[in-house]
Amino acid sequence: MKMTRKKEKESTVRKLTYQADQRMNILRTLTVPERSAVFAKLSPYVQQSILRQLKSNEIVDMLDHMDMQQAEHVIKRIPNASRREKIALKLKGDIKEKMDYFLRFHPKATLALINFNYLFLDASMTVADAATIIDEHYQETGKYPEILVHQFGELMGEVPLASLVRERNTSALRKHVQFIDSITYQEEINKVVDILVATGKRKIVVLDNDTSVLGIIYSDAAKALFGNLPAESLYDFAGVDDSEKPFDSIGRKVKNRYKWLILNLATSFLAGSVVLSFQDTLDAVTILSVYIPIIAGMGGNAATQSFAIMVRGLTLGTISMKTAKPAIWKEFGAGVINGVIIGSIVAVISLVWNGNPMLGAVVGTALVGAHIVAGVAGSFIPLLMKQLGKDPAATSTIFITTATDVLGLFFLLGLASVFLV
């Protein structure tokens, strides 16, 4: 099987080299890891031709599967200086964003904890060729790198330098590969802490979801952040919550929920107090009582939509408190537009039903405000709960409901007090 894939790669290299008219079609049939591995085998002339035809995001994806030294050499072959700079900045930004997310396991963890001093070499490469690249790396950086080995662009393991120097120059790297632990940058915090601190692993490779290498982290450096805390307290220190599972016992479910339900009861009285404080307005404009459940219901439904999107993002690891600002702004904008749409419909219905244009305007405006609150609360509160180490799926809805009910009713009754009484 390995020989077949090796022959397929050699055949692909020949096709890319000699079939210029089909070159890009052939390249784009490959997976990104395969594309990166095959690209490294091509001559500089063919590489430059491909780089001119690839889109910038395609180049970034391919560079993502290379080590820093190799990626730098490829970027230098891009003739357009502004394009080179744009691609380099995009690549660095992607890596930094992902590593910042990975480092959420400790509030004081920084990028200095990550080692980018590695080479990502093809398993078919000989020891002699690897030695040349290692020497070149040393001349450029003054440091000997970690040697990671890939098969068709996917991590196989490592080859320690100590064992490499003892092998024959003609020997292929694949014969000397040793297993190395790896973990994706989006892994749950409790697993990250467990691998870094609670086990005896010396180093771990951090991978992207597409199997490309982001960097290496050494356990000793991670352990130094936690000091001498006992193992059982590490998860609390890292902000790990013990979320409820679907098949937990009844007792565990009650234990996890009853305190939050009591808190919800208290916040429900808060919403009731808003209604009570505007009792004179309700007495004067009794029709407003018809619109109270509409305001509460529409605000709650809109908040549920934002909440579901945000929890899904947190579950998949695609968003965090650090990266959430654009998402929250977009939820704000969506809340404004949805509020105008729903508010306009209700305003027209109110006008036809009650014959009072000012009442329609008040209800419509209140619905705009309720939708804005729903978008912001539904997106921000789950992030805050996650940041505080709580299960956002189980705890957020209480605070979201309170925000939408209290502020929605305040908008309705407050505007009515000003314009209708």
Q: What is the pLDDT of residues 389-409, one digit of tens each?
A: 777 777 788 888 888 888 988
24-28, 184-188, 237-241, 365-369: which has the highest mean pLDDT? Answer: 365-369
- State which H helix or E strand residue 86 sits in: helix 81-102
pLDDT value for 259: 75
Residues in the chain, how many?
421
Query: At residue 208, does pLDDT exceed 80?
Result: yes
At 344, the pLDDT band (50, 70, 90 cuts) reads very high
pLDDT value for 365: 92
Determine how many CB atoms are found less than 10 A away from the CB of residue 121: 22
At 3, the pLDDT band (50, 70, 90 cuts) reads very low
- Looking at 103-112, 198-207, 231-240, 379-388, which range is the least confident one? 231-240
At 9, the pLDDT band (50, 70, 90 cuts) reads low
List of residues 6+ apart from 238 with CB closer than 8 A: 105, 106, 189, 190, 192, 193
Q: Are 390 and 241 in contact (CB under 8 A)?
A: yes
What domains are there in the chain, each with its CATH number?
Answer: 2-102 (1.25.60), 111-237 (3.10.580.10), 250-419 (1.10.357.20)
Instruction: Report the share of the chain in percent with pLDDT over 70.
Output: 87
Number of alpha carbons in the 13 Å side-chain half-sphere of residue 234: 23
211 backbone φψ class: left, alpha, beta (φ>0; ψ -120 to 50): left
Q: Are 223 and 197 in contact (CB under 8 A)?
A: yes
- Mean predicted confidence (pLDDT) in 66-70: 83
pLDDT value for 62: 86
Query: At residue 105, does pLDDT exceed 80?
Result: no
- Mean predicted confidence (pLDDT) in 119-129: 88
pLDDT value for 237: 44
List of residues 6+ apart from 104 with CB closer than 8 A: 189, 320
Q: What is the pLDDT of residues 40-63, one digit of tens each?
A: 888 888 888 888 888 888 888 888
At 1, the pLDDT band (50, 70, 90 cuts) reads very low
- Mean predicted confidence (pLDDT) in 124-145: 87
- Looking at 163-172, 261-270, 300-309, 373-382, which range is the least confident one? 261-270
Query: At residue 243, does pLDDT exceed 60?
Result: no
pLDDT value for 245: 56
At 222, the pLDDT band (50, 70, 90 cuts) reads confident
At 244, the pLDDT band (50, 70, 90 cuts) reads low
How far, in Å, CA of 372 to CA of 362, rounded? 16
Mean pLDDT of the chain: 81
Phi then psi dihedrals of residue 213, to 5 deg: -85, 130
Cα-based torsion angle of the residue sequence 100, 105, 110, 114 in order, rounded to the nearest 10 degrees = -80
203-212, 273-282, 358-367: which has the highest mean pLDDT? Answer: 358-367
Query: At residue 179, does pLDDT exceed 60?
Result: yes
Q: How far is CA 326 from CA 55, 171, 182, 264, 306, in A?
A: 25, 51, 31, 30, 14
pLDDT value for 137: 85
Q: What is residue 194's DSSP assignment? A: I
Query: Quick one: CA dihedral 195, 200, 204, 209, positive or negative?
Result: negative
Can you spell out the DSSP letters for 25-79? HHHHTS-HHHHHHHHTTS-HHHHHHHHHHS-HHHHHHHHTTS-HHHHHHHHHT-S
